[in-house]
Structure 1
Amino acid sequence: MYRVLVFGMTENPGGVESVIMNYYRCIDKTKIQFDFLCNFHEDAAYEDELTAMGGNVFHITARSENYGKYKKELEAFFETSQSVYDAIWVNVCSLANIDYLIMAKKYGIPRRIIHSHNSQNMDSKLRGILHKRNRKRIDKFATDFWTCSEDAAKWFYEKRLLPKVVMIRNSISVERMAFDEEKRKKYRKQLQCNDDTWVIGNVGRLHFQKNQKFCLEILQQFLKKDSNACLVLIGQGEDEAELKELTRRYGISKKVHFAGTQTDIRGWLSAFDTFLFPSKFEGLPIAALEAQANGVPMVASAKVIPQEVKINSNFEFVNLDEGAVVWSEHLNHIRQTMKRLDISEVKQNFTEKGYNIETETVKLEKLFLKEVK
């Protein structure tokens, strides 16, 4: 049995967590088994499912919470785990903290995989400085270099390492996200929407990266064309209070639903008529893939969302600098001309583009089981 220690799960069922789960659900567990190291003491996202599939979940103190305790617990974990793991797979959005790889090397884990999931610093200035410092020395500790997109690779790794970088697509199960008519009715009833209400949705952490402030500006303009529309924001984050204040200032509080963190993303996507995704930067966003797996029409930020994210035909790119009025016009165009795609067409599109989890998992298994050069 090939055992992999996975770092990257948090308390929040976000994009990175979804990528890990999608692969873990499909991987051949008679050959490969995952365990999970988490730097927090609350339950991890999907923890019950992780343990039900045979994975062990280990919790240590966060570095930001108590540095001394974190270092002591981290060292103790790796010391007691010597000879247990064939690989460590570190899934992160920056290189600000590479302690897990350093410890893995110190205690003899032969495969040390770093996996890039973002294309820009989304944290503090200090973490940005730490990322740049560790970027120069990451190959002293990692043996394998993975990425979710070309843009993420270029930000994460120095040019000299790019030839070694392996693309691991943020693949998903189309069936798990496929449109569900009953769930559509359920969540639209919860929103108190009638059949004619045009429901615009966004899924993501309420954070400047995801640009929900711009979503509110777009809705404000779109309501001039259709007063029966509404916006649903799935997720939580540090911008929540400010976003709620903006809805009051714009006079659209009754048109914006803050749904918080949700586990039934398939159901909520089924309730949407359009998916709005004006992020300021991304690696390769799982939320955009899940929306397309559901078949819902989508508009996303051009030159920010990687081109390879476009899987379906009912998908439009718009530049952020074109402003809320133009974005609202694109939403109106989508409403008039684009329909939700059925699952057969969606599945064909995902398979052709290499984002179908069933076929991509086979490739991941081969990567794990290859001999270390």
Structure 2
Amino acid sequence: MKILEVCTVDFSLTGIPVHIRNYYNELKKNNKIDIVAKSFDKKILRTMPLENETVLYELPRTKNPILYISKLRKIVAKNNYDVVHIHGNSSTMALELLACRSSSALTIVHTHNTEYKAKVLNVLLKPYLMHHADLYFAASSEAGKKLYNRKKFVVIKNGIDVSNFKFNLEERLYIRKKLNITDDKIILGHVGTFNEQKNQDFLLKLSKKLNPKKYHFVLIGDGEREKFISKIANKEMFTVLKTTDEIGKFYSSFDMFLFPSNWEGLGMAAVEAQYATLQTLVSDRIPKTVKISNNIKFLPLEVNRWVKEIENYSKEDLLKSRKNNFISAEYDIKNCAKKLMNLYIKEYNAKNQKSI
């Protein structure tokens, strides 16, 4: 099939682009897949070698929406795609649907979050969005209900290559040595863009109540990273790093994973952490479908509750739990990609039969 993946955010090592990347790596061999995004980061491109004549189209989206729609329309018309799969967080995906107005492609909108920045535009564009897509996808039931209300939608799992997250003792020791963190310290890990949604400020509150001789925080992400660093009172207790295309190695170095988000469409980092067999503490504001193992606990954003839970585990307990933990295969990208491809084919054929 000829497929166009439209990413409405910068294509970097964050939620939506990583989702597209994971499916691309599985489907690229047997399909012609192009990608549209605001910009492309080299880090993520290193993790997805392009095949089958993939073309990357860099289109600024917000400065001049009319020009954006015009350019996207030309791309869609020129390439005669079978499927146009639009990924975003709100009804502003109507812009992409406008660009596909004259196309015969199967058009899909796919929401990945439960909160939107463009609240006014979301309301204004929602009527168009709700009547002009062929299929409606969501990262979770919560994300789908928030954007689509009662309209029928399909939950598409944020599949990952689970082999990248297997616990590796050599990588654990290598990373800890590289970061100059002794093995007697309990590393409290976190992965996510530094912003209000991911709520890293909550981790600062935790650090003030935890023993600095016993615990060390390692946070990985882009966004408002420098702003966060400026707020750290005890610098010796934190290591703050940019996003990396070798994130699996860092999961091996962690002892626990903390994810105190204020909201999430799903919370993919928490899924990755469970595949890495980490004890995972998450905010109770995260969809419960993120639970794929017994190594996860949902807690209200109360500092004392989190501190008590963290202190419940000894170093030995945390290492032991990594060896014996059943994890569901529902997010394995190989299974997820097959299901998505079957859905593409089924719905594409159904649309074509209607038009005959």
Scaled by the length of structure 1, the TM-score of the pair is: 0.86
1:179-200 residue CA offsets vs partner (Å, 9 max, x unmatched): 1111111111122111101110
Deviation of 1:241 (Å)? 3.2
Deviation of 1:75 (Å)? 3.7
Q: 1:340 to 1:146 in 2, by over 3 A?
A: farther
Distance 2:275 2:323 in 1: 8
Distance 2:55 2:38 in 1: 11
Deviation of 1:92 (Å)? 1.0
Deviation of 1:340 (Å)? 5.7
Distance 1:135 1:245 in 2: 39
Distance 2:34 2:288 in 1: 33
Aligned length: 347
Of residues 285, 308, 319 in structure 1, which corresponds to 2:289?
308
Of residues 119, 127, 136 in structure 2, which corresponds to 1:145?
136
Deviation of 1:201 (Å)? 0.7
Equivalent residue for 1:157? 148
- The question of 1:227 aligning with 2:213 is answered yes
Deviation of 1:158 (Å)? 2.7
- The question of 1:113 aligning with 2:89 is answered no
Distance 1:294 1:145 in 2: 31
Q: 1:55 to 1:152 in 2, by over 3 A?
A: farther
Of residues 242, 263, 269 in structure 1, which corresponds to 2:245?
263
Distance 2:304 2:49 in 1: 48
1:169-220 residue CA offsets vs partner (Å, 9 max, x unmatched): 1122221211111111111112211110111011000000000000111122
Deviation of 1:244 (Å)? 1.6
Equivalent residue for 1:38? 37
- The question of 1:296 aligning with 2:308 is answered no
Deviation of 1:110 (Å)? 2.4
Indicate if the aligned counterparts of 1:4 and 1:88 stay in contact, CA closer than 8 A: yes
Aligned positions of 1:239-278 closer than 5 A: 240-247=225-232, 251-278=233-260
Equivalent residue for 1:53? 51
- The question of 1:91 aligning with 2:82 is answered no
Range moving further from structure 2, 331-340 or 202-211: 331-340
Indicate if the aligned counterparts of 1:27 and 1:361 stay in contact, CA closer than 8 A: yes
Q: 1:362 to 1:60 in 2, by over 3 A?
A: closer
Identity %: 27
Equivalent residue for 2:205? 217
Q: How much is the aligned-residue C-alpha RMSD, in angstroms?
A: 2.2
Distance 1:357 1:16 in 2: 15
Distance 1:43 1:172 in 2: 19
Distance 1:37 1:51 in 2: 16
Equivalent residue for 1:4? 3
Distance 2:243 2:350 in 1: 40
- The question of 1:324 aligning with 2:303 is answered yes
Deviation of 1:120 (Å)? 1.5
Distance 1:55 1:199 in 2: 43
Indicate if the aligned counterparts of 2:176 and 2:182 stay in contact, CA closer than 8 A: yes
Indicate if the aligned counterparts of 1:95 and 1:135 stay in contact, CA closer than 8 A: yes
Structure 2 unmatched runs, 5+:
352-356
Structure 1 unmatched runs, 5+:
none
Distance 1:340 1:265 in 2: 22
Scaled by the length of structure 2, the TM-score of the pair is: 0.90
Q: 1:360 to 1:343 in 2, by over 3 A?
A: farther
Distance 1:51 1:57 in 2: 12
Distance 1:11 1:357 in 2: 19
